[in-house]
Chain A
Amino acid sequence: MEKTAGKRTVHSSQRQGAAKFLALPLIIWLAVFVIVPLFLVCCYGFTAEGADGTLHFSFENFARFTEPIYVKIMVRSLKIALISTVICLVLGYPAAYIMSRSSSKIRTLIILLILMPMWMNFMLRIHAWLTLLENGGLINTLLAAMGLEKVEFLGSEGAVVLGMVYNFLPFMIMSIYMVLLKLDNSLLEAAYDLGATPVQRFIKIIIPFSVPGILSGISMVFVPSVTTFAISQYFSNGTVRLIGDTIEKQFGAANNWNFGAAISIVVMVIVMLSMFAINKVDDGDIGERKMII
């Protein structure tokens, strides 16, 4: 007995050593590709180019960001991301619930249908949508053929929301589904035995149980929605400017990396704060699982 225990200790410490070693590539990877870039972003954000071309420490990029036009863009980005997240939740929750309750065959089929588009390239999917929605696109050609009036789909905030919901909905569904899958049926049976109505069971058991899934779904949708630029550019013909577009422009055509970096830092802080707020909801007895931002 003792011998076995001793052996086990040696074994597990050996394992730990190996684990440490195996973690090394990841640590190097994170250091080189996460920490160093983050440091560089800060370097750019807190410096500005003087008249003579030299760099000096400065808050002027952040000061520029407080100008009304940029604040407006930030607010608009948060608003659109929030709307998209709520729609994803409203659409995604029932889908996830139905999936978790269906037979494994149907479940596999639904998962396949949800995930299959994601095997395709992101830009390709956007262009497929454009082909559908354009004024001369498939839907409008069909409408026109039926003698109906054409609908202007693209070029509005609504179109951008549509693009975001389409692209990020699978993240919401899968997050909630993974949690609901673990729901022990005996809990529901017990509630039933104790006389709970279906509505009561849903509100008192299923929803609280799925909170961690909802929260991780929210962050999986909200964070990319705040920062995306491709979706807004294509679905709005460049007429709905989000903070992601503004950042991208600074690193591209406008060639002002310092300002771009400063905006990125502000966005990062805002996202972190909102994630922190969401995490606050998550503590207490339901949330054994900590959120991953």
Chain B
Amino acid sequence: MTNTIKKTIAAILVLSTLLCVCACSASDDKTVRVYNWGDYIDDTVIAQFEDETGYKVIYEKFDTNETMYAKIANGNTNYDVLVPSDYMIQRLIAEDMLQKIDFANVPNFANVGDDYKGISYDPNDEYSVPYMWGTLGILYNKTMVDEEVDSWEMLWNEKYKERIFMLDSSRDSICAALSLLGYSINTTDEKELAEAKQKLIDQIPLVGGYLVDDIKDKMIGGEGALCIAWAGDAEYCMSQNKDLEYIIPKEGSNIFFDSMCIPKTAKNKAGAEAFINFMCKPEISAKNAEYIGYSTPIPAARELMGEKGQSKAAYPDVSKYELEIFSDAGDANRLYDQIWTEVLASIDN
């Protein structure tokens, strides 16, 4: 009697474990799995999409392109929509990890401005649809920094020791060092990269923290005087703290495009295309851009935003600056990763 009960319990335990495993991998046509940057959407937009289309969205976030790539490249993931940046899209295409989008299902692609179509990472607009764009620059607190900020040099200024915050993102932080040294931000030259690495190691004593999304809190809270920032994050911080200002350094910087694409491993291509199409609606894109601070590639959306659509930080006159787009470093990717690992490892308090 007791034996039977025990056996039954044991059997149930085993079965439920197995069921758990099965249930987790189950998916249906009504689910869209989206893998996007953290703090990169107005959550109400997701609910709106679910209401209008009947799809259910499973939404996950990453903090850097590299983290996303590591997960996609190694794991058995089944995301339907990814939102990587330009150079990462180029890499994913080169490594045959993306599938072509059926643009017949994305009629709203017509809303995207011509400036944001046919860019080098996806020259024929086959794999990606722009979600947001922006520049990389310096966000600083006017009450703490009384001199003119126009150069990357400011992030190496001893006066602001431990009040400088850097992005824990390899390409972006290395970009600042490369620009300052006068090298291309896409260099694969080992000597130039070694110099950039040394520059970043020299900077360590001045840096108050290496963070990603948490930098925003530090700047809004007045803890940081200067930081390297994406324009959209800067725009958001400036809306929360009026003492903050954003500039693009004179040495030049990076312009980036975060675009939606569909990985080869997607389970629900139709759902993914519906999601992408929805995000290209002017009113939706405007809602997102207003909420997150990044720049919409959809002119009609920008018009809907009124004053916010005219912000100098989010919509600079790009012809005035030396802006370069990141390209996939190819074989040098390992070098970039290694440099960043070693810079972080050299931090010695």
Supposing A134-B223, A257-B74 touch, asked if A237 and B211 sit within 8 A by C-beta, the answer is: yes
The main secondary structure of chain A at its interface with chain B is: helix
Residues A237 and B6 in contact, CB atoms below 8 Å apart: no
Chain B residues with CB below 8 A from A237, complex form: 165, 208-211, 214, 218
Contact of B73 among A14, A69, A255 (CB under 8 A): A255
Residues B344 and A249 in contact, CB atoms below 8 Å apart: yes
Smallest CB separation, A65 vs chain B (Å): 11
Surface stretch bound by A, among B63-71, B187-195, B270-278: B63-71
Supposing A21-B6, A255-B73 touch, asked if A136 and B223 sit within 8 A by C-beta, the answer is: yes
A61-107 residues with Cβ-Cβ distance < 8 A to B are 69-70, 72-73, 76
Bound: A78/B210 CA distance, A: 22
Smallest CB separation, A136 vs chain B (Å): 4
Does B221 reach chain A (CB closer than 8 Å)?
Answer: yes
Chain A residues with CB below 8 A from B334, complex form: 256
Tally inter-chain residue pairs, CB-CB below 8 A.
104
Surface stretch bound by A, among B9-17, B232-240, B252-260, B294-302: B9-17
Interface string of A235-262 (1 = CB under 8 A from B): 0111111000110011111111100000
Interface string of B125-167 (1 = CB under 8 A from A): 0000000000000000000000000000000000000100100
Chain B residues with CB below 8 A from A10, complex form: none
Does B44 reach chain A (CB closer than 8 Å)?
Answer: no
Residues B208 and A249 in contact, CB atoms below 8 Å apart: no
Bound: A246/B168 CA distance, A: 13
Contact of B10 among A25, A135, A254 (CB under 8 A): A25
Chain B residues with CB below 8 A from A245, complex form: 344
Closest to B5 in A: A18
Residues B7 and A72 in contact, CB atoms below 8 Å apart: no
Surface stretch bound by A, among B78-86, B113-121, B317-325, B335-343: B335-343
Residues A253 and B349 in contact, CB atoms below 8 Å apart: no
Closest to A251 in B: B70
The range of chain A's interface size is 35 or more
Residues A21 and B7 in contact, CB atoms below 8 Å apart: yes
Residues A239 and B347 in contact, CB atoms below 8 Å apart: yes
Bound: A256/B74 CA distance, A: 10
A22-39 residues with Cβ-Cβ distance < 8 A to B are 22, 24-25, 28-29
Closest to B345 in A: A69
Residues B341 and A249 in contact, CB atoms below 8 Å apart: yes
Bound: A239/B73 CA distance, A: 28
The range of chain B's interface size is 35 or more
Does B76 reach chain A (CB closer than 8 Å)?
Answer: no
Contact of A253 among B3, B66, B342 (CB under 8 A): B66
Smallest CB separation, A204 vs chain B (Å): 43
A-B contact pairs, 27 of them (CB 8 A): A18-B3, A22-B6, A25-B13, A25-B14, A69-B345, A76-B348, A134-B223, A136-B222, A155-B209, A236-B349, A237-B208, A237-B209, A238-B344, A239-B207, A239-B210, A241-B344, A241-B345, A245-B344, A252-B67, A253-B67, A253-B70, A253-B169, A254-B66, A254-B170, A254-B340, A255-B74, A256-B341
Question: Which residues of B does A touch, CB under 8 Å?
Answer: 2-3, 6-7, 10, 13-14, 17, 64, 66-67, 69-71, 73-74, 162, 165, 168-170, 207-211, 214, 217-218, 221-223, 334, 337-338, 340-342, 344-349
Query: 16 new A-B pairs (CB below 8 Å) besides A24-B14, A69-B345, A255-B337?
Result: A18-B3, A69-B342, A136-B222, A155-B208, A155-B209, A157-B349, A237-B209, A238-B168, A241-B347, A246-B345, A252-B66, A253-B337, A254-B340, A255-B74, A256-B334, A256-B338
Question: Which residues of A does B touch, CB under 8 Å?
Answer: 14, 18, 21-22, 24-25, 28-29, 69-70, 72-73, 76, 134-136, 155-157, 236-241, 245-246, 249-257
Give the top 7 A-B pairs by smallest Cβ distance, nearest first: A237-B209, A136-B221, A253-B66, A238-B210, A255-B70, A135-B223, A69-B345
